[in-house]
Amino acid sequence: FLWVIVASSSTPSVAMKFHWWVFSPVVFPWTGQAQQAGTVTPEESPSIVIQKCTIAEGCKDKDMGLVLDANWRWIHNVGGYQNCFTQEGWNPEFCPDPEKCKENCALEGVTAAGYINNYGVHQVYEGDKVTGVKLDFMTEGGNVGSRLYVTKKNGKKYKMFKLLNREFTLDVDVKTLNCGMNGAVYFIEMDKKGGEGKTNKAGAKFGTGYCDAQCPHEKFETNASWGICCVEMDIWEANKYATAYTPHPCSTVGPVRCEGDIDCGYGDNGERWKGLCDKDGCDLNTYRMGAHNFYGPGPDFEVDSERPLTLVTQFLTDDGTDEGTLSEIRRLYVQDGKVIANAPSMIPGVTGSAITDDFCNAQKLAFSDYDHHQEKGGLASMGETLKRGMVLSVSIWDDYATHMAWLDASFPPGEDPDHRFGVLRGPCNATTSDPTIVRAENPHGYVKYYNIKYGEIGSTFSGSRRLEPIHT
């Protein structure tokens, strides 16, 4: 469940808006949002080393990059320095309509110093090697949050991770992320060039082409009935009080433009569960599943979120081969050299500690949630996307829409957790997680993602208790 980030900064950002107008649904492949590449400021995106691992040869360094999402960038008139977007909205001189806006406005680069000072993006070093990234929640200049994508070394294309029958591992540090905050690591089926082409001169180098299962709007699109949908696999959505991982299958291949409340899943009359994507997904939040003492701050929890930890996500197939069908998404933790299995469900009628179709079906029934996950093909559909390849995104954000209650408090609002399983998702109180409060109380918050690895099952981590994959 990933809401589009609302950022506050000197550069524009586009938040998801919900309008309940009715349009005739039209769906067609997305070919890239039209926009120009700026020439005022050079793009100096940070590098990062990610390791690719095999059982036979161990882990080997791969040089890659990180690029800031287009929504955070300065956008100005082509050949000039006037803002195309301000606090009042789009400048009518350059943007009388979306098409003119696309022609008249350019996305600008970000210098190495700008990444650090303006957006709070810091490289994490181990010796002289860049092994990760630290994302500040806020900067002195007023920016809030950030979202970046992993690119190939030259920065011209996004790295496409193919993870079926593979595992993905990284270290995280979330000790400063309090209620209402979210450090998110996830995969989306974006175009590898960021939509670069005849009408988009910016492309992946400037962080264009975002899509996810919430079907967010394009940067220049003023029509609230249009969105861009794609499959999403949430690896890690967390603060120090709650965490979840969630597959969001869609009836799409690559990014697809939707139009209208039905196909985009906008609206408040059940349209959410009629769209191209499973917006709710099948989440595994151990707190929501009744294991309230498993993950949290301090030594009383089995996984102590106030200390660095390693998380492993395994995408297991039914026959243990690359050609098999995705049958299980398993989460393991490593802390203090010990491998910790995910906590089993404590909810009546729901068994297991990993995401399987049986787990998802039982959870939807127990929680009285609409089962859009199975309608969109369940794990088999997600596995096909993992096989095709997905882009890795890392971010930090807060949430005006729900105050992050869907992750760490009671949600939906007004539901009594004593009378419906699944409402209680964490120990936080959403009334005190309004971003105005969160930002005032957490100006120095940050998240670290480092030691990122991917490869064959069992190749990316070690510990005193190795758990072998189970193929069902």
Q: Which residues are catalytically annotated?
A: 232, 237
**Helices 357-367 and 378-388, packing angle to 10 deg:** 130
342 touches 354 (CB < 8 A): yes
The secondary structure of the chain, three-state, reads CCCCCCCCCCCCCCCCCCCCCCCCCCCEECCCCCEEECCCCCCCCCEEEEEEEECCCEEEEEEEEEEECHHHCCEEECCCCCECEECCEECCCCCCCHHHHHHHEEECCCCHHHHHHCCCEEEEEECCEEEEEEEECECCCCCECEEEEEEECCCCCECEECCCCEEEEEEEECCCCCCCEEEEEEEECCCCCCCCECCECCHHHHCCCCCECCCCCCCCCCCCCEEEECCEEEEEEECCCCEEEEEECECCCCCEEEECHHHHCCCCCCHHHCCCECCCCCCECCCCCCCCCCEECCCCCCEECCCCEEEEEEEEECCCCCCCCEEEEEEEEEECCEEEECCCCCCCCCCCCCECHHHHHHHHHHHCCCCHHHHCCHHHHHHHHHHHCEEEEEEEEECCCCCCHHHHCECCCCCCCCCCCCCECCCCCHHHCCHHHHHHHCCCCEEEEEEEEEEECCCCCCCCCCCCCCCC
- Peptide bond preceding 412: is omega within 30 degrees of 0, i.e. cis? yes
- CA dist 280 and 2 (Å) reads 9
Q: Which residues have CB under 8 Å from 181's CB, separation 6+?
A: 137, 239, 396, 397, 398, 404, 438, 442, 445
- CA dist 237 and 235 (Å) reads 7
- CA dist 229 and 343 (Å) reads 32
> What backbone torsions phi and psi does residue 119 show, to the nearest 5 degrees?
-120, -5
